[in-house]
Each structure stands twice: as structure tokens, then as C-alpha cells.
């Protein structure tokens, strides 16, 4: 039987002890399982790296932030699987897994037993890998606002409604006006930039947010959308285009599809995020595509 390290963030919003027990049971029907719990931010990097040479696969039961850490610990060195344990779990959804983590674990177990795998691409920004999205400016500022709120008494992050409220608050703080403040090499100047590893960029509830309708899921090629400037008049048009998946064809928005590389220089230090994780302020960023770098079980 294959050996699996089950990496669990016990503070992810959809993770409970009962669900961990049931996920373990589902996996153990087809694999030997060793469970490791994350204890702090960054711990998943260490745990995933430690699985190399000691397991045949890593299964991550968490939200997108812990997925990101695990990928940066051992992507390319071991096959991975991702069980939905967060509020959005964008990566698991993009891979087509059931929303129920126990059902997803059963599907992964069958794929392990059959030796069924596929490959997917990743993105990289300033050396940090990301699975679905990254960005400089507005979206990263929202991520920072959410992280600044901390966690509840149960150790869990705020939910999707609070994320939306923080996005509105960030736009309100800027009075819905963001001038050009960064330059995209070969493309022009913009207010902020959203970068996706193919499709989707993220989910808003059940709606997949895409930066290009031409992109395949997690393609290992970069799409970007960068509004030249944000104004109160332009904001409704921008939001409508995001939800319709037409932002790359919207006047006033710079866009690119299936790129291998994108270089950005900021007028001043601006926040950077990857897969919803705050990576601090940057004045320069290099986004790169990594096609077919990750083996996924299933």
C-alpha cells in the first residue's frame, strides 16, 4: 500500500476533529497514513519537506494558505492531493474534487490505489510558488486587512462575508480612487495587478472569477489584468467585468494571456499576495510560469 502523509491545519475553517478522523478512515482503506498537524504559520513548509523520502504522496487537508505552504515545501518532489478544509479551498475546487472533504478523501484514496495521477502547472513570484493567484496592490491590501483582524477564539480566520466587507472597506479607504502606481514591463502603467495561474483567479461564492475565458484550469501559464486607474465611475464596470469573466476585454484594463513571465516595478513599496498569503511590501516583482511541475493524485 502507498505511504501517505496527511498534513492537516486544525484551524482551517472546515476542519474538525471528527472530519479528520473520517478523512483518515477513508484514506486508510487504500493507503498507510501518518497524520501531521500544523502548529504555526510556515510549519506546513517544514512538514511537506520532511515527507520527501518518507512517503509516496502528501495529502493536505486545509485551506489555500496551507496548500501554498506545502507546495513551497515539496512541490515537484512528491505527488500531492488537496482536500477542501478552508472557506474557499480554491485549489481543491479548481481540481474538481467534491466539496465534502470525506468524499474527496475517498476519491483520492481510489486514485492512489489505481496509481492515477495528472500534472498541473504553478506560478512563481519572486521565488514563491502559488497555485492559483497572486497580485500587487488592491487585492494584497485586502489580504493584509483580513490577516490584521487575526483569528477568533477558536483559532480560525474570518469567513467569506468578512473578506468581502474588508474589500469594500479598502476601496472606501481609497475613496474608490487608485491612480497608476506600478509599471508592467512591455504593457504600461496601472493601479494594481491581478495574476492568475490559468483559471480561476479565485471564487466569489459559487462564481469562478477568471481573468481570461481562454485559459484552462491551473495551466502553468500566467494571465494578468491590471486596471490603468480606478475611479468611482469605473468601479461598477470593473466589478461587472470580473464577475462576467470579461475583464481582459474591458477598456481601461491592461491584460495578458498565457504568459511565461511578467515583470512589475512599483512607484513605492506595495503589498504582494500569493494564494491569499501576505508576502509583505515589494518595489519589484517577477512573476514566472512553471508548466507541468506538480503531480496531482486523481
High-pLDDT (> 70) share of the chain, %: 93
Q: Which band of pLDDT confidence, cut at 50, 70 and 90, is reported for residue 80?
A: very high
Retrieve residue 238's grid coordinates: 470593473
**pTM, two decimal places:** 0.92
Q: What is the average pLDDT value for the chain, to the nearest integer?
A: 93
Q: What is the pLDDT of residue 141?
A: 95
Q: Which of 89-98, 104-113, 154-163, 194-203 has the lowest mean pLDDT?
A: 154-163
Q: What stretch of H or E contains 66?
A: helix 64-74
Interval 209-214 mean pLDDT: 93
Is 163 a residue whose pLDDT tops 70?
no
Q: What is the pLDDT of residue 238?
A: 94
Is 225 a residue whose pLDDT tops 80?
yes
Is 157 a residue whose pLDDT tops 70?
no
Q: Beta strand pairing status for 32-37 and 217-227?
A: unpaired
Q: Which band of pLDDT confidence, cut at 50, 70 and 90, is reported for residue 235?
A: very high
Q: What is the pLDDT of residues 137-152, one digit of tens each?
A: 999 999 999 888 755 5
Q: Which band of pLDDT confidence, cut at 50, 70 and 90, is reported for residue 221?
A: very high
Task: Give the residue from 172, 173, 148, 142 showing the smallest Cα distance to 160.
Answer: 142
Q: What is the pLDDT of residue 168?
A: 66
* CA distance readout (Å), 197 to 105, 141, 145: 25, 20, 24
Is 167 a residue whose pLDDT tops 90?
no
Q: What is the pLDDT of residue 153?
A: 45
Q: Which band of pLDDT confidence, cut at 50, 70 and 90, is reported for residue 159?
A: low
Q: Which of 36-45, 60-69, 170-179, 287-296 has the lowest mean pLDDT?
A: 170-179
CATH number of the domain located at residue range(s) 3-115 in this protein: 3.40.50.10330
The domain limits of the chain are 3-115, 128-291
Half-sphere exposure of 293 (CA within 13 A, CB side): 21
Interval 226-241 mean pLDDT: 95
Q: What is the DSSP letter of 137?
A: S
Three-state DSSP class for 36?
A: strand
86 against 161, higher pLDDT: 86
Is 128-291 CATH 2.60.200.40?
Answer: yes
Q: Which band of pLDDT confidence, cut at 50, 70 and 90, is reported for residue 206?
A: confident
Is 154 a residue whose pLDDT tops 60?
no
Q: What stretch of H or E contains 142?
A: helix 138-148
Amino acid at each position: 500500500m502507498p505511504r501517505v502523509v496527511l498534513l492537516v491545519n486544525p484551524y482551517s475553517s472546515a476542519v474538525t476533529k471528527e472530519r479528520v478522523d473520517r478523512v483518515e478512515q477513508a484514506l486508510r482503506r487504500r493507503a498507510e497514513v501518518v497524520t501531521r498537524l500544523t502548529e504555526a504559520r510556515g510549519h506546513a513548509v517544514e512538514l511537506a519537506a520532511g515527507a520527501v523520502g518518507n512517503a509516496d504522496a502528501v495529502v493536505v487537508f486545509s485551506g489555500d494558505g496551507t496548500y501554498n505552504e506545502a507546495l513551497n515545501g515539496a512541490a515537484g518532489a512528491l505527488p500531492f492531493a488537496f482536500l477542501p478544509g478552508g472557506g474557499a479551498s480554491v485549489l481543491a475546487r479548481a481540481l474538481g474534487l467534491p466539496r465534502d472533504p470525506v468524499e474527496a478523501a475517498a476519491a483520492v484514496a481510489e486514485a492512489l490505489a489505481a496509481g492515477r495521477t495528472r500534472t498541473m502547472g504553478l506560478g512563481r513570484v519572486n521565488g514563491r510558488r502559488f497555485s492559483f493567484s497572486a497580485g500587487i496592490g488592491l487585492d494584497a491590501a485586502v489580504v493584509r486587512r483580513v490577516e490584521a483582524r487575526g483569528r477568533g477564539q477558536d483559532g480560525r480566520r474570518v469567513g467569506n462575508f468578512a473578506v468581502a466587507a474588508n474589500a469594500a472597506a479598502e476601496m472606501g479607504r481609497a475613496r474608490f480612487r487608485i491612480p497608476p502606481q506600478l509599471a508592467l514591463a512591455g504593457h504600461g502603467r496601472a493601479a494594481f495587478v491581478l495574476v492568475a495561474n490559468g483559471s480561476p483567479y479565485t471564487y466569489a461564492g459559487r462564481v469562478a472569477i477568471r481573468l481570461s475565458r481562454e485559459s484552462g484550469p491551473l495551466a502553468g501559464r500566467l494571465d494578468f489584468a491590471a486596471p490603468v486607474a480606478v475611479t468611482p465611475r469605473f468601479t461598477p464596470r470593473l466589478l461587472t467585468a470580473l464577475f462576467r469573466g470579461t475583464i481582459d476585454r474591458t477598456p481601461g484594463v491592461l491584460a495578458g494571456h498565457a504568459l511565461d513571465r511578467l515583470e512589475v516595478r512599483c512607484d513605492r513599496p506595495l503589498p504582494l499576495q500569493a494564494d491569499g498569503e501576505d508576502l509583505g511590501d515589494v518595489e519589484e516583482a517577477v512573476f514566472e510560469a512553471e508548466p507541468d511541475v506538480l503531480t496531482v493524485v486523481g
